[in-house]
């Protein structure tokens, strides 16, 4: 069998370790870089190193930023009285495209007994001091509408409920542009439960 040069094999393996990249994709990416100009590979390598050097977790919301507190926590123009709880920094990227202008809190995961992740493994306790200052009056639970996301939201809701803070959960229903015909049962039930007067 043809032997791939060792240095090529190493890059294939490095790509394979990334999530969602299988052996074939790893090969394709590697051979693309092999044929691409030298700068392309250097550019990727430099970007990966620089990102690890320059980024840090925000000490307030645990989002990723180049400073701590991050741009969002540091932005006085944002509404300090609403905190949206999300699973990971990518969720902030998506949610901040809406017109939400409050603050965030990144859990860094969800409660998942199957993967041995309990409430203390994610950043729930770090949320409490933020709520105790008395500035916050609404906490939006925006974990994913999955089994784990719902369980995590419920856990936080129970923990916070003694405090005088409005707790809301993002709506589950039919995605915009979708087709009722193809929607699953649970989504349809949720859409009906969450119906509003027209």
* Residues within the interface to a copy of itself (CB under 8 A): 1-8, 10-11, 13-15, 17-21, 25, 27-35, 38, 40-55, 64-66, 71-72, 88-90, 92-93, 96-97, 108
- What letter would DSSP give residue 112? B
- The least CB distance from residue 30 to a copy of itself, in Å, is 7
Between CA 40 and CA 32 the distance in angstroms is 10
Rounded to 5°, the CA angle 146-190-195 comes to: 145
- The least CB distance from residue 35 to a copy of itself, in Å, is 8
Which of 25, 127, 28, 39 is closest to 85 using CA atoms? 127
Name the residue nearer to a copy of itself (CB basis): 47 or 135. Answer: 47
CB 63 within 8 A of CB 74: no
- The least CB distance from residue 194 to a copy of itself, in Å, is 27
Question: Quick one: tokens of 40?
Answer: 């392309």
Name the residue nearer to a copy of itself (CB basis): 4 or 174. Answer: 4
Name the residue nearer to a copy of itself (CB basis): 85 or 160. Answer: 85
Name the residue nearer to a copy of itself (CB basis): 21 or 165. Answer: 21
CB 175 within 8 A of CB 152: no
Strands 82-86 and 138-141: parallel
Q: Which helix (H) or strand (E) holds 103?
A: strand 103-106
- The least CB distance from residue 74 to a copy of itself, in Å, is 12
- The least CB distance from residue 72 to a copy of itself, in Å, is 6
Between CA 98 and CA 88 the distance in angstroms is 17
Name the residue nearer to a copy of itself (CB basis): 40 or 115. Answer: 40
């Amino acid at each position: 069998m043809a032997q791939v040069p060792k240095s090529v094999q190493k890059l294939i393996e490095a790509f394979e370790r990334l999530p969602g990249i299988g052996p074939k994709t790893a090969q394709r990416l590697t051979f693309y870089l092999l044929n691409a100009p030298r700068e392309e590979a250097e550019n990727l390598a430099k970007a990966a190193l620089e990102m690890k050097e320059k980024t840090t977790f925000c000490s307030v919301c645990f989002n990723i930023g180049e400073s701590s507190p991050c741009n969002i926590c540091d932005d006085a123009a944002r509404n300090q009285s609403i905190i949206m709880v999300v699973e990971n920094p990518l969720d902030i990227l998506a949610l901040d495209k809406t017109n939400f202008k409050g603050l965030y809190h990144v859990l860094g995961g969800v409660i998942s007994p199957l993967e041995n992740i309990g409430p203390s493994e994610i950043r729930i306790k770090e949320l409490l001091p933020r709520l105790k200052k008395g500035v916050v009056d609404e906490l939006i639970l925006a974990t994913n509408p999955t089994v784990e996301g719902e369980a995590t939201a419920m856990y936080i809701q129970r923990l916070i409920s003694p405090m005088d803070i409005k707790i809301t959960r993002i709506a589950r229903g039919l995605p915009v542009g979708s087709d009722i015909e193809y929607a699953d049962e649970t989504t349809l039930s949720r859409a009906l439960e969450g119906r509003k007067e027209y």
